[in-house]
């Protein structure tokens, strides 16, 4: 690879009246240093051959060196073509991950999670919920993951056990007395408010984290609080998977879309299982 480039940019040696530049088919011995070279300078009168190094060393002041413009132009064109070829190859290999970035973290979340939210919600309310999560939550990414798994972002959600709001806070009586005592709510209906619902979730999750010394998986298991421990563990894993996506995979659209498809498939399977149980 480097030999053709060296040939292209090699200077042309022009001698004086006595010496001329010579190129031989077979290596010829230099009369000065004894080394065999194919190129060098030849004396017109004596026929003596000197290699270029010896000629430059001893008679260099009489040597004219010119760079062939045509060779230089070919060299520049070759370098440019090589650069574009390498760039195209790199782009082709990395294309699946080199995709347009979403402008903000919130835009990515809205684009990814709105199709997975409660179907009864319009997008305006969903955007209000997302804004409130990042305005009022102590740990926004974690709160986002919990709310997604608990209520699908619907502030009006009420479970069969009486859990209410975005964070699905138990209210019979559950956490209601403590929340009233700490002046977070005035009555359990306040749990359906967007801002108050998020603040109530902060309070409940904080209490669970205190109980388990900050161990998040254990806190999530207690947060779910089902009698069946296996369901609590499944809930914890689901929240952490969502949390991990939000925290570490928020830069590329292609990842968000693939994750969205996987979540949609999981939700469809869960819906089918519930339908079978009801039958």
Residue 102: the pLDDT is: 46
Contacts of 19 (CB under 8 A, 6+ apart): 41, 42, 43, 44, 50, 55, 59, 62
Residue 253: the pLDDT is: 46
Lowest mean pLDDT among 41-45, 53-57, 205-209, 236-240: 53-57
Residue 82: the pLDDT is: 84
Q: Which CATH architecture has domain 105-274?
A: Orthogonal Bundle (1.10)
Confidence of residue 260 (pLDDT cuts 50, 70, 90): low
Which candidate, 165, 146, 162, places its Cα nearest to that of 154?
165
Residue 64 β-bridge partners:
14
Structure tokens given for 90: 């790199």
Query: Given strand 19-29, what is the order of strands in its sheet?
Result: 19-29, 36-43, 49-51
Which candidate, 162, 166, 160, places its Cα nearest to that of 125?
166
Query: Phi/psi of residue 144, each to 5°?
Result: -60, -45
> How far is residue 207's CA from residue 78's CA, in Å, rounded to a whole number?
68
Contacts of 166 (CB under 8 A, 6+ apart): 129, 147, 150, 151, 153, 154, 155, 157, 194, 197, 198, 201
Domain with CATH 1.10.530.10 in the chain: 105-274
Note whether 232 and 221 are within 8 A (CB).
yes
Q: How do residues 170-188 score in pLDDT, each as one tens digit?
A: 887 789 999 999 999 999 9
Q: How do residues 217-228 score in pLDDT, each as one tens digit?
A: 999 999 998 899
Residue 23: the pLDDT is: 83
Structure tokens given for 264: 């949609």
Q: Which one has a higher pLDDT value, 54 or 6?
A: 54
Contacts of 181 (CB under 8 A, 6+ apart): none
């Amino acid at each position: 690879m480097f030999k053709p480039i060296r040939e292209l940019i090699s200077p042309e040696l022009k001698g004086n009246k006595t010496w001329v530049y010579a190129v031989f088919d077979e290596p010829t011995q230099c009369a000065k240093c004894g080394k065999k070279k194919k190129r060098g300078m030849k004396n017109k009168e004596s026929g003596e051959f000197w290699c270029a190094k010896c000629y430059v060393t001893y008679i260099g002041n009489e040597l004219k060196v010119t760079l062939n413009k045509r060779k230089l132009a070919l060299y520049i064109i070759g370098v440019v073509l090589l650069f574009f070829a390498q760039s195209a190859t790199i782009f082709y290999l990395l294309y699946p991950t080199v995709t347009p970035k979403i402008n903000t973290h919130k835009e990515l979340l809205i684009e990814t999670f709105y199709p997975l939210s409660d179907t009864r919600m319009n997008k305006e309310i969903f955007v209000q919920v997302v804004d409130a999560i990042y305005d009022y939550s102590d740990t926004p990414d974690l709160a986002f993951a919990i709310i997604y798994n608990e209520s699908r972002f619907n502030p009006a959600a009420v479970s069969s056990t009486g859990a209410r709001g975005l964070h699905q806070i138990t209210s019979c009586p559950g956490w209601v007395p403590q929340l009233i005592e700490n002046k977070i709510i005035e009555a359990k209906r306040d749990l359906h408010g967007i801002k108050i619902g998020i603040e109530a979730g902060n309070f409940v999750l904080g209490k669970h984290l205190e109980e388990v010394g900050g161990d998040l998986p254990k806190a999530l298991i207690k947060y779910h609080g089902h009698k069946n421990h296996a369901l609590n563990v499944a809930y914890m894993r689901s929240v952490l998977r969502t949390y991990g996506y939000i925290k570490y995979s928020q830069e590329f659209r292609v990842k968000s879309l693939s994750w969205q498809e996987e979540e949609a498939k999981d939700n469809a399977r869960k819906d089918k299982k519930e339908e079978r149980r009801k039958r």
